[in-house]
Chains A and B, each alone.
Chain A
Amino acid sequence: MLSKFLSSENGRGLLMVSPPFLYAMLLMAFPLIAIFLFSFWTQDFMTLDTTFTLNNYREIAEKPIYGALLQRSLFVSASVTAVTVLLAFPVAYFLSFHVRPDRKSLWLFLITIPFWTSYLIRVFLWKVILGYNGVINTGLINVGLIDEPLTFILYNVNAVIITLAHAFAPFAILPIFVALEKIDRSLLEASQDLGESKFMTFMRITLPLAMPGVVGAVLIVFIPTIGDYVTPELMGGAGGKLIANMIQTQFLALNNAPLGAALAIVAMLCVTAISLTFVLINRRWLKGRS
């Protein structure tokens, strides 16, 4: 029976995929369930109380700081996503439509390199660029455009958004590029032969067909940015801390892991809910057009 199953196409496929699947089960699914349970427990310094309670969630709902942090985090993630995807789309479009095919992988390689290199130091260098005596301020003063250093670009939410938008740029370009590459070029010719202008062809053919890539880019930027505490810590100053900083503090400094777990769960639920809504709205919009 077992040997028959293992020699079937279905069985061999399942056997082959089982090591990575079991690994993800053990080290992702199981810990996620554990942290969910954990968020209903309480901790008093080092002793863990495993009686079921909603106290952690009650505390999150009642203390305004958590709501404020969560709101700010979602705002930052949404802004980063919007900035990144809007800036990335023209680059992906240029790569797909205007670069010679044999040059495309060179361009993609150049775009991905900064993404793989020394994340911490890259974030720190944005401080050097945006700071009071930073590259931008000294540059603008030397040119004579401003008299005093600009202060709205460091130690606040703007600085966090700029830095994160830089860190996630390749993540946004690649899915859009892949979607654009799949578009049948003869559709564009047909549209123009039938009398549509270049702009209308873009709006009615290219953009709707590129939407799956745009949606992919939005998700792959929006969801992970909520979990970054390095950038707000280094760039955000006092007013730019985010929910991830609070989770980190609860776990490592305040020794209140159950509350940290509850915060992580709440943050993840919010992000998932927003992402699903976005996907559904987009699907309906695309269906409404066809």
Chain B
Amino acid sequence: MSLRIYAIAYLIFLYAPIILLPIFAFNDATIIAFPLSGFTTDWFTELASNKSLHAAVKNSLFIALVSAITSTILGVCAARAGAMHRFRFKAGIMGFIMLPLVLPEIIVAVSLLVVVVQIFDLGLSNWTIIAAHVLICTPFCIAILNGAFQNLDPAMEEAAMDLGESRFSAFRLVTLPLVMPGIISSMLIAFTISLDEFIIAFFLSGASPTMPVYIWGLLRFPASLPVVMALGTILVALSIVLLTIAELLRRRGLARAGVKDKGGFL
């Protein structure tokens, strides 16, 4: 019983900042502090007319979409190889691919910055951010897709091939529909990670900032803070929707594969 109380207190600790967000987004004062003064939706209307914010959002959506698709494709390769094939140095190779999960993000950022700018003398653009985001998203995609590929019976694809399908069409017709919920779930998670990522994007963004980089700029001006709160409220609501869809699809995928749900993304 006391454990349950502790767990609930812990959840409150986890949600404390997120609960404050909408409170200040609708608060009619420029200072982010209690007591509250009144209700307003001005901060949201201000968002609608901010041109440079719109450009940043567009950038971020593009980066997140390309990163999500690419890292999920790489994740499918790794998860399929991990679950359905035996090959030499398997543990080492899989561990190496998962390494970005524990690599400090600043290390990823500075090492790519050095390679792109100093060694290849290329400019920074959205593509440099995408390259880095694919690297850090792939381990998360693999973790989600592992759940979908494990316990998938290789005999099903073999049966399709015995019945005359090629290896690729056997994959497309048999395996792909079974792992589809996992694939979409993985894309949604990668999309959310990329959309929210700041540490790397700050180093690698070119002339046009991503949304988190733009928010970082706003945080220095006290006058723009209520607008940031309004933007944050929308972002949190959006990511909760995306994550809920991802979770529901992940569960459906597990049910299709006939695996008992052990819970969790990782």
Flag if B106 contacts A261 (CB, 8 Å): no
Flag if A229 contacts B199 (CB, 8 Å): yes
Chain B proximity mask over A117-150: 1 for CB below 8 Å, otherwise 0 = 1111110111011010111001000000000000
Of the listed stretches A192-200, A204-212, A216-224, A282-290, name the one at the interface; the rest are far from the partner chain.
A216-224
Closest A residue to B112 using CB positions: A31
Q: How far is the CB of B127 from chain A (nearest CB, A)?
A: 12
Listed residue (B24, B33, B106, B247) with the most chain A CB atoms within 10 angstroms of its CB? B106
A10 interface residue per 8 A CB criterion: yes
Flag if B3 contacts A90 (CB, 8 Å): yes
Closest B residue to A8 using CB positions: B87
A35 interface residue per 8 A CB criterion: yes
What class of interface size applies to chain A in its complex with B? 35 or more
Q: Find residues 37-59 in chain A having any chain B CB closer than 8 Å to their own CB.
A: 38, 48
Closest A residue to B100 using CB positions: A28
Flag if A113 contacts B243 (CB, 8 Å): yes
Q: Report the tally of A-B residue pairs with Cβ distances under 8 A.
A: 263
Flag if A121 contacts B198 (CB, 8 Å): no
Instruction: State the majority secondary structure of interface residues on A.
Output: helix
A257 interface residue per 8 A CB criterion: yes
Of the listed stretches A12-20, A62-70, A153-161, name the one at the interface; the rest are far from the partner chain.
A12-20
Flag if A28 contacts B108 (CB, 8 Å): yes
B156 interface residue per 8 A CB criterion: no
Q: Find residues 150-183 in chain A having any chain B CB closer than 8 Å to their own CB.
A: 166, 169-170, 174-175, 177-178, 181
Chain A proximity mask over B96-128: 1 for CB below 8 Å, otherwise 0 = 110111111111101111110011000000000
Flag if A20 contacts B75 (CB, 8 Å): yes
Selected contact of B107 from candidates A21, A87, A122, A264, CB within 8 Å = A264
> Which residues of chain B are within 8 angstroms of A126 by Cβ–Cβ distance?
17
Flag if A105 contacts B102 (CB, 8 Å): no
> Which residues of chain B are within 8 angstroms of A18 by Cβ–Cβ distance?
77
The verdict on A116 contacting B33 (CB below 8 Å), with A20-B74, A251-B203 known, is no
Flag if B34 contacts A135 (CB, 8 Å): yes
Closest B residue to A19 using CB positions: B77
Apart from A109-B263, A112-B264, A124-B219, list 5 A-B contacts with CB within 8 A: A10-B87, A17-B81, A38-B114, A166-B17, A227-B106
Closest 4 CB pairs of A and B: A227-B104, A13-B87, A13-B85, A105-B263
